[in-house]
Homo-oligomer: A and B are copies of this chain.
Amino acid sequence: MTTNGPATAAPRGRPRNAAVDRTVIDTVLRLIADGASIGDLTMEGIAREAGVGKATVYRRWPGKDALLLDVLTAVDSPPPLGCRSGDLRHDLILAIDYIRRRSLAKRESALMRSMVTQMESSPELWKRYHDTVVAARRRMLTSLLEDAVTSGQIRPELGADLDLLTDMVVGPVLARATLRPDAPLPDDLAERVVDTLLEGMRPRD
């Protein structure tokens, strides 16, 4: 502790330009959205593309990993659906449609694809992405399904594995967005997924 006060003391000299942080982070997201993989990114290339001195980047982040960690936290997932109507069908459709709309955003889908590849080689990066984005979405759905089981809107025996139910809800949209980027994500996709899931594929006598 070298500071003399609780407010981290007074900085002297010219203050840092906060806009530079955002420009660099935005540049990284843009490069990823344009098809660059994590391995393609270089500190030098990022600085060049951002129109920023290389030293300026190194002044903020010690290396590519630290920069990418900040990029991930900057992907602000706005609180994924806090409201809850109580009607399972309605709430499920809202939740899935949120993921569907997110998957339509080129930045988010490209970022997800990049992170998925990096989970082995940079587990720290993957953990951050998982905790920030993946886990947040799952939590929302799992609690939604849990309440539906207790309120009798879902067969009780299915409540034994909410994890599986969650995967069955998000799986279709994610699989389409991840593995078939050319396939459409039509407006009524969420609605149709939910209706089929709730009613089942088999004829109801």
Contact = CB atoms under 8 A, between A and B. Distances in A.
A201 B155 CA distance: 6
B39 A155 contact: no
Interface in A134-161: 134, 152-155, 158, 161
A153 B202 contact: yes
Nearest to A119: B181
A198 B196 contact: no
Interface in A55-102: none
Interface string A43-64: 0000000000000000000000
A197 to B, nearest CB: 6
A130 to B, nearest CB: 8
A164 B196 contact: yes
Given A110-B120, A164-B172, A167-B176, 17 more contacts: A34-B120, A35-B120, A36-B121, A38-B39, A39-B39, A155-B201, A161-B192, A164-B189, A167-B175, A168-B193, A170-B175, A174-B174, A174-B178, A198-B200, A198-B202, A200-B200, A200-B201
Interface residues of A, number: 53
Contacts of A19: none
A100 to B, nearest CB: 12
A38 B121 CA distance: 12
A203 B152 contact: yes
A173 interface: yes
A163 B196 CA distance: 13
Contacts of A12: none
A37 interface: yes
